[in-house]
Structure 1
Amino acid sequence: MEKKTNRGRGAEGKAVWILKALLCAYVVTGILLLLLTLLLYKLNLDEGKVTGGIIAIYVISTFVGGFAAGKMAKVRKFAWGLTIGILYFGLLLLISLGVYRTLQGSGANVLTTFLLCAGGGMLGGMIS
């Protein structure tokens, strides 16, 4: 009976630190998007530079989230970082679908974004 209780706490604990890592990634996203907005306003960046900035923000944010998850997990860090990257992408996709009611861009763009998010999270987990 006691083992089930410990498992429940472990699962709750994992869910909590996964949410903490995702929150960390989205806070970094918000800060970096505000910085990119400021740069866009001050420097009149063209579309290519803004797109590159958004891609960099995805990678940096998932890296930070994966790093945080890896620090909290202490085992199989790369897998937890990858999980954070995938969850980040999934939430990003849900938000995009909610706002635009359709996928923005082609399937190749969505796949590339998925790979960048998953790779950034996994790299963050590995380095932690």
Structure 2
Amino acid sequence: MEKHLEKESKVMWVLKSLLLSYVITGVLLLLLTIALYKLELNEKTVSAAIIGIYLTSTLAGGVVIGKMAKTRRFLWGMLLGTGYFVLLLLITLGVYHTLNGSGGNLLTAFILCAGGGMAGGMIS
């Protein structure tokens, strides 16, 4: 029975951390939208800001899951970043029904998400 409760708590760690990451993403994207409207930012600036949002969100989620896990924090953070990327990919597929961009862009986004989560886990 204890192992079952332990597994549930680990799943809850991941879900709570992912939820935090996506809330941060939503808030930062809203701020970026306002900045884009007010400041008329160019495409390169917006792309750089989106990369920063990926990193910030997964870093924060990695810190939270690392504090909950207390052991193998970098691994839990990387798991969180991977989960963040997979959900991001599924949302993109659901909205556009295709993957825009090259495989290199997907690989870069995966490395950013997994690396941000891993860094957050190590910081915690």
Query: SS of 1:45's equivalent?
Result: coil
1:47-58 alignment runs, 5 A limit: 47-58=43-54
Q: 1:84 aligns with which of 41, 60, 80?
A: 80
Is the aligned partner of 1:97 residue 2:85?
A: no
Greater Rg, structure 1 or structure 2?
Answer: 1
User: Unaligned 5+ residue runs, structure 2?
Assistant: none
Give the Cα–Cα distance (whole angstroms) in 2 for the partners of residues 19 and 26 of structure 1. Answer: 10
Give 1:38's aligned residue.
Answer: 34
Query: SS of 1:69's equivalent?
Result: helix
Runs of 4+ aligned residues of structure 1 deviating over 2 Å after TM superposition are none
- 1:21-54 CA-partner distances (Å, limit 9, x unpaired): 0000000000000010011011000011001100
Q: Cα offset for 1:104? A: 1.3
Q: TM-score, normalised by structure 1?
A: 0.96
Percent identity reads: 60
RMSD of aligned alpha carbons? 0.4
1:3-14 alignment runs, 5 A limit: 5-14=1-10
Give the Cα–Cα distance (whole angstroms) in 1 for the partners of residues 91 and 20 of structure 2. Answer: 17
- 1:36-73 CA-partner distances (Å, limit 9, x unpaired): 00110110000110011001100100001111100110
Query: SS of 2:71's equivalent?
Result: coil
User: Unaligned 5+ residue runs, structure 1?
Assistant: none
Size of the alignment, in residue pairs? Answer: 124
Q: TM-score, normalised by structure 2?
A: 0.99
Query: SS of 1:121's equivalent?
Result: helix
Is the aligned partner of 1:116 residue 2:109?
A: no
